[in-house]
Structure 1
Amino acid sequence: MNGWYRRRLVAAPLLTQSITTAVLFAIGDVTAQQLIECRGLEKHEFSRTARMLFYGGVVFGPSATTWYRFLSRHIVSPNKTAQTVRRVACDQLIFAPTFTGVFLTSMAVLEGVHPVEKLSERYLDALKANYLIWPAVQFFNFKLIPVQYQLLVVNLTSIGWNAFLSLLNNAKTESKSSSRKKRHQVEVNSSSA
């Protein structure tokens, strides 16, 4: 681990982890837009990347930093495997469902969309996808990685995960707005006939 980064984690852990999270959340969105959606720079939605950067740095980074510290202090067992299983269970039964909702709600608010609509359309899909990936990642993370680096492991894994979340968050909105436009065109064409 880079000496400078390690020193920053000791000197200002919350700030360092929040900035790291912000940058890597933005990279996840850029990955989604450029490598998966192949938008190119002309069609890149910089406001979408900014929303992910903001959420990562202001909401997820500080919350996850605090959560991992909480788990390391309060979920303790002499049996390392039992301790790891308990931490994963807490993470996946408390933090994951909560922050899946917080993510979708935050994105809705930042996009000017009603959160209830976004939650009802996307929450279960996001949570199911979470359960396919994160329990295994977190088992490895909680068992082998020191607490000060756990968020970094999550953030690096999250580049792909955030690309998925960004796609999930935006794909249905785009297809829904397209179907609304088509419906509106049909209504306009019907009324003018």
Structure 2
Amino acid sequence: MALWRAYQRALAAHPWKVQVLTAAAGGETRSAGTPDRPDPDHGISGLWLCGGTKVDALKKMLLDQGCFAPCFLGCFLPLVGTLNGLSAQDNWAKLQRDYLDALITNYYLWPAVQLANFYLVPLHYRLAVVQSVAVIWNSYLSWKAHQL
């Protein structure tokens, strides 16, 4: 609890610095917001959609999961394959084998997280929520990307 209170104090005193450090620590910027600018959200889906109603949260989640997730996975998996030295043919075969499974697994986790995040979580805590869940998600992705 002491760590959480320290995080809250730092966030209140230095919102931009803490948000940047939080994003850098987690390596993602999904749904990042700025506490000193409560309107609109400044995450991926917040670029186009503003508001805090249930319908707004649903629209943001659908945009995030309909656009960002498929594109991200379609880039991430081949990039890791390339960095691991897979040939173009092996990389393509791995993408065809793993993409749909990774996307379905994404849909088991992220829509619920993002709905709650966009509707229930105050803007200045959204990045921390996403980064916490991303630890689990990134572990799964790393495992998936390194399976032969």
Shorter-chain TM-score: which interval?
A: 0.7 to 0.9
Structure 2 letter corresponding to 1:69 = G
For this pair of structures, how many residues does the alignment match?
A: 132
Supply the distance in 2 between the matched residues of 1:107 and 1:139 (Cα, whole angstroms).
29
Structure 1 letter corresponding to 2:70 = P
Contact 1:84 1:142 in 2 (8 A): yes
* 1:67-124 C-alpha deviation (Å, 9 max, x unpaired): 95353352124x7011001001101100111111122122112212234233112110
* 1:21-42 C-alpha deviation (Å, 9 max, x unpaired): 1xxxxxxxxxxxxxxxxxxxxx
Mapping 1:15-164, distance limit 5 Å: 15-21=20-26, 56=27, 61-62=28-29, 65=32, 68-77=42-51, 80-113=53-86, 114=88, 115-164=91-140
Supply the distance in 2 between the matched residues of 1:143 and 1:156 (Cα, whole angstroms).
17
Which structure: greater helix fraction?
Answer: 1
Supply the distance in 2 between the matched residues of 1:111 and 1:10 (Cα, whole angstroms).
35
- TM-score, reference length from structure 1: 0.58
Supply the distance in 2 between the matched residues of 1:97 and 1:109 (Cα, whole angstroms).
19
RMSD: 2.6
Contact 1:68 1:151 in 2 (8 A): no
Query: SS of the residue aligned with 1:69?
Result: coil
Gaps of 5+ in 2: 34-40
- TM-score, reference length from structure 2: 0.73
Q: Which has the larger radius of gyration?
A: 1
Contact 1:8 1:16 in 2 (8 A): no
The Cα shift of 1:12 comes to 6.7
Contact 1:17 1:151 in 2 (8 A): yes
Supply the distance in 2 between the matched residues of 1:103 and 1:7 (Cα, whole angstroms).
35
The Cα shift of 1:65 comes to 4.0
Structure 2 letter corresponding to 1:18 = A
Structure 2 letter corresponding to 1:127 = L
